[in-house]
Amino acid sequence: PEEVEELGLGHWATKTLERRIDTARVDPGWIAWSIAEFAKVPPHVAIAQHDMIARANLLPRLGAVTQPVLVMAGSNSKIAPEAQMTTMAQQLPRAKLVLFESYGQGIAFSAPERCVAEMRAFLQEQAGRI
């Protein structure tokens, strides 16, 4: 938080890029755009969001979610590791876990077509259960 306050969220986005996004699979233009967008966020907003996420532990409440849930993640994600995503899916009564083999973090940006295909298939499955 101190670094974000002093140098801004754009600096943080650049510094943490390799950890947050599978850069080998994402268009460099998108990367530049996203860093520019991060830079627009006021530091106090970014710090408040960080603090909220850091304090939240929703795992004990996942069992109460009764809606179908599609959990998608890259199998090599450092932020949302496979073991953590598996645990999350196991706690959700009606979850389906889809791991993108050999992908890192940010599958919505590195494999958007596959994300859409997985979501459509999941929604079709759910529609068939109505």
pLDDT at position 7: 96
pLDDT at position 128: 86
Mapping DSSP onto H, E and C, the string for 19-60 reads HHCCHHHCCHHHHHHHHHHHHCCCHHHHHHHHHHHHHCCCHH
Domain layout of the chain by residue ranges: 1-56, 61-130
pTM for the full model?
Answer: 0.84
Considering the domain 61-130 in this protein, what is its CATH number?
Answer: 3.40.50.11320
In Å, the largest CA–CA distance within the chain is 52
- Within 8 A by CB and 6+ apart from 95, the residues are 68, 69, 70, 71, 88, 89
User: pLDDT tens, position by position, for the chain (130 residues)?
Assistant: 889 999 999 999 999 999 999 999 999 999 999 999 999 999 999 999 999 999 999 999 999 999 999 999 999 999 999 999 999 999 999 999 999 999 999 999 999 999 999 999 999 999 988 6
Cβ count near 22 (within 10 Å): 20
pLDDT at position 130: 67
Buried-exposed string 75-101: b where 16+ CB fall within 10 A, e elsewhere = eebeebeeeebeebbebbeebbbbbbe
